[in-house]
Amino acid sequence: MLASENLGSEVHPNDHVNMGQSSNDVIPTCVHVSAAHSVQNELLPALRHLSAVLEKKAEETATIVKTGRTHLMDAMPVTMGQELLGWKSQIDHAVDRLGDTMKRLSGLALGGTAVGTGINTPANFGGKVATLLAEHTGVPFVQAGSLFEGLSSQDAAVETSGQLRVLAVSLTKISNDLRWMNSGPLAGIGEIALPALQPGSSIMPGKVNPVIPEAVAMVCAQVVGNDATISMAGQSGNFQLNVMLPVVAFNLLQSIEILTNASVCLADKAIADFTVNQANIDSAIDRNPILVTALNPVIGYEKGAAVAKKAYAEGRPVKDVAREMTDLTDEELDRLLDPAALTEGGIKH
């Protein structure tokens, strides 16, 4: 007779409540359920919100032509909208990567019991629970294809953490770009002014720091550290069980939570309402000697380099120096060196 058929007046925690289950399959299942639910219902919506804010801001700044930078040095012009759309693409790719990872994260180890064989549990138990969980949560949970893998490894959690690390790298890049663009206001780049969220420095009145991008960068550093911990834990499984499930769960769920909050803060308190310092942008692009690159197809590289060096040495616009050193007319120079046209690519003749 099964223990469940002899309940009597006492409900036993092992014979009844925990019948057909083991901590060896329940805890890996809990890790997947909690992480998948948080990714689908918290992180992915936050990232889509950030993407939408970036798209809106890119539309607002689509006609603002600024100096591009490579190696932190002046380069050919881009529009601020193009720059922001590059950030948006990073976030959209993060959404796609996490969506693909969810295929593995939604597989549940429940039903494997002690070692993956399903001893002491009905054959359809794990699948039925996964179906019910999917109905209640909206997350497409299924029973894992291999219960032996579900118990003995945490590869899906490691994969998810890896995708979170990529997202953290992207957010760090975006945050640092914002800090550079905001730097100044007089001795830095000073292309934008982030919203002032503090009254000023504790010792220097009027000094407003880029606290949101800085906070996001710290979140991202924590996520990278969490990923290292999860990777170590993931490779520490032995035979039919990984004994580091608690540290996997703690770090994975923390990474999801803090990236969710950081993404919303970056969108709403930094990107949505930053203002553009048009005068600074125009001044820099007018004096950018790299604009001479657009003349290369017409005057050649060597002549272009000479024009650029003279313009830089004398602190003069490329157009003025090119007028003196070439046979190009004012109309030709205006057309060839139009910063807005240069953001469209191609060869100008």
Read off the amino acid at residue 286: D
- Annotation marks residue 71 as catalytic: yes
Cα 8 to Cα 14: distance, rounded to the nearest angstrom: 15
State how far the Cα of 121 lies from the Cα of 101, in Å rounded to an integer: 29
Q: How far apart are CA 215 and CA 261, in angstroms?
A: 11
Q: Which of 89, 146, 201, 283 is catalytic?
A: 201
Whole-angstrom Cα Rg for the chain: 29
Catalytic residue among 9, 71, 136, 202: 71
Q: Is 202 a catalytic residue?
A: no
- CA 30 → CA 148, 150, 218, distances in Å? 16, 12, 28
Give the residue numbers marked as catalytic: 71, 201
